[in-house]
């Protein structure tokens, strides 16, 4: 494939910018060995408060959300001390706050940034998505494009990852808000994957458009709390990682109109040790591509397809919060064939996982004083 000169220049600028930040942090590098690659982990920056999501800007700068409500900029390997202004008010309680960040597919033309967050209101909070234009160090023209019918006063299970599919559609993952049986109720958005146009309009070909008693934004349902969402770079499929309770964390292939079973089927049990269901499968409900017992508390998801680590192409990298790890899961098509636990020695809660434009793997750590980490190949 041939790219315009401007895109080639953009790629060179990204590699140059990220390489600069690599050199700046090289003294923090730590060597690790894995089944297919030796690698080092470099601290890009530190001093973030419960970072949740990240997105790469043209030129290599990185936007990072902090759950208390701040959007931060990492430029040239340095964390800007001043947050980006103009972000929405958030409900920063429990698992709620400022959550994911994504760039519009035509960001270089329109400068639009999308944020998901716990939105406060008289009924507690729900998950919402807003977009604004990034002008310097400020978001302008902020407008809400989606508000979930998932209000509640509980502080858990907001989701929420944002993924554009390359066709102009935005996918949003939503948790069940701690009301497990609502994940089977199509009259609200709890425990669902949402699909909308970039401006919030509902696509006419969504599976529940025109279905009585169902909300038309819903793409898939029966989901507990999805905090990882990614397009498979080789197939274009939408994959998801989902928190189970005690056991039953999952990787799922998300398909339109499908029911992913929560809480009717699960490989997990309740936190008090009591069963949730005696079923792990049922006709009409999807099986996970991979699951964990016990739980690692799955969060961010990235599927690798870059040149820096050729032995990892096609592998899924999943952050583990309670499991304090990065899980590497190898697949043969839709069948998981092996799993390797990485970075257990760091004892860090891995919140988000992204593949950067340089082909390195970037990690967010969930902590009050947290770093951004980067996995790089070891030079021979």
Measured in degrees and rounded to the nearest 5, phi and psi for residue 340 equal: -125, 135
224/192 Cα distance (integer angstroms): 8
Catalytic residue among 157, 189, 243, 290: 157
Overall residue count recorded for the chain in this entry: 380
What burial class does residue 203 get, using C-beta atoms within 10 Å of its C-beta: 0-12 exposed, 13-18 middle, 19+ buried? middle
CA–CA separation, 341 and 330 (whole Å): 12
The neighbour count for residue 104, using CB atoms within 10 Å, is 19
Contact between 320 and 296 under an 8 Å Cβ cutoff? The reply is: yes
For residue 291, give the nearest of 308, 314, 268, 307 by alpha carbon: 268
Q: How far apart are CA 127 and CA 93, in angstroms?
A: 13
In angstroms, the Cα distances linking 267 to 6, 120, 226, 318 are: 49, 33, 16, 18
50 is catalytic: no
- Number of neighbours of residue 219 by Cβ within 10 angstroms: 23
The residues that are catalytic are 157
């Amino acid at each position: 494939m041939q790219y315009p000169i401007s895109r080639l220049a953009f790629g060179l600028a990204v590699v140059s910018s990220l390489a600069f930040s690599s050199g700046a942090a090289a003294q923090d590098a730590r060597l690790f060995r894995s089944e297919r690659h030796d690698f080092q982990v470099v601290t890009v920056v530190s001093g973030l408060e419960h970072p949740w999501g990240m997105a790469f800007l043209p030129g290599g700068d990185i936007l990072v959300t902090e759950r208390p409500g701040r959007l931060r900029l990492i430029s040239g390997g340095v964390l800007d001390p001043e947050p980006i202004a103009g972000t929405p008010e958030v409900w920063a309680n429990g698992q709620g706050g400022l959550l994911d960040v994504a760039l519009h597919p035509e960001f270089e033309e329109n400068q639009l940034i999308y944020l998901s967050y716990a939105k406060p209101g008289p009924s507690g909070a729900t998950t919402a998505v807003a977009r604004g234009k990034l002008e310097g160090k400020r978001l302008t023209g902020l407008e809400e494009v989606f508000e979930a019918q998932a209000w509640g006063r509980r502080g858990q299970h907001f989701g929420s990852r944002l993924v554009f599919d390359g066709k102009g559609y935005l996918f949003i993952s939503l948790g069940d808000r701690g009301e497990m049986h609502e994940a089977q109720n199509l009259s609200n958005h709890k425990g669902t994957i949402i699909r909308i146009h970039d401006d919030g309009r509902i696509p006419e070909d969504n599976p529940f458009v025109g279905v009585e008693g169902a909300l038309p934004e819903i793409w898939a349902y029966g989901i507990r709390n999805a905090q990882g969402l990614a397009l498979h770079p080789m197939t274009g499929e939408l994959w998801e990682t989902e928190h189970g309770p005690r056991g039953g964390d999952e990787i799922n292939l998300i398909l339109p109109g499908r029911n992913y079973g929560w809480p009717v089927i699960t490989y997990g049990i309740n936190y008090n040790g009591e069963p949730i269901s005696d079923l792990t499968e049922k006709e009409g409900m999807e099986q996970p591509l991979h699951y964990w017992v016990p739980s690692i508390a799955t969060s961010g998801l990235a599927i690798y397809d870059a040149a820096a680590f050729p032995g990892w192409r096609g592998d899924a990298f999943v952050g583990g919060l309670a499991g304090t790890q990065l899980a590497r899961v190898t697949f043969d098509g839709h069948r998981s064939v092996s799993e390797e636990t990485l970075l257990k020695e760091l004892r860090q809660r891995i919140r988000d996982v992204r593949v950067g434009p340089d082909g390195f793997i970037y990690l967010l750590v969930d902590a009050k004083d947290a770093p951004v980490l980067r996995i790089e190949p070891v030079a021979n």
